[in-house]
Amino acid sequence: MAYLGKLGNHRNFGLLFIRVGLGAMFIYHGYPKLLGGPEAWAGLGTSTKYVGITFLPVMWGFLAAVVETVGGLLIALGLFFRPLCLLMVINLIVAAAMHFGKGDGMDGAAHAIEDAVMFAGLFFVGPGSYSLDKK
């Protein structure tokens, strides 16, 4: 498999591909939540009860929608990458807890857990050279 050995030279392109793909999907899922207004934000924000936070559901829902939408865009661009990865992990922990709390089990929580693991790993790896955070 020597012909695959040089793929490591394209590590930064791989990170760009992951960033843009994940970012686009989070924009796609977050934008309708962001446009949903206070009623939608309240519904989204009540998910925090599964991690012990029961106050200000509208604020938490709005913040979650902003992290998904604006965070998705900034992750795709590679700007403020590591702080956003942490915010995404927090968002996804709440989402997984909500699925478990509603009785959806691992089948319901799996997608949130998979994304959280991905963002946790990206936190350590960084955005790669093809990013606006590149120094």
Q: pLDDT (tens digit, 9 = 90+) per residue, 107-118?
A: 999 999 999 999
The DSSP code for 79 is: S
CB 61 within 8 A of CB 41: yes
pLDDT in tens, 29-69: 999 999 999 999 999 999 999 999 999 999 999 999 999 99
Contacts of 121 (CB under 8 A, 6+ apart): none
Q: Please state the domain count of the chain.
A: 1
The pTM score is 0.92
Residue 134 belongs to a domain: no
User: Cβ(67)–Cβ(45) under 8 Å?
Assistant: no
Residue 20 above 80 pLDDT?
yes
pLDDT score at 3: 72
Note the pLDDT of residue 135: 61
Examine residue 6 and state whether it is found in any structural domain, yes or no: no
Range of the domain at 56: 14-125
Read off the pLDDT of residues 61-103 as tens digits, 9 standing for 90 and up: 999 999 999 999 999 999 999 999 999 999 999 999 999 999 9
**Within-domain flag for 92:** yes
pLDDT at 7: 75
Task: Specify the residue for token string 């040089």.
Answer: 6
In a domain, 102, yes or no: yes
Whether residue 2 is contained in a domain is answered as: no
Whole-number pLDDT of residue 60? 98
Look at residue 2 in the predicted model and tell me its pLDDT.
Answer: 67
7: in domain = no
**In this structure, what token pair is assigned to residue 43?**
């519904």
Residue 26 has pLDDT above 80, yes or no: yes
Residue 72 lies in a domain: yes
Residue 45: per-residue pLDDT: 97
The verdict on residue 135 lying in a domain is: no
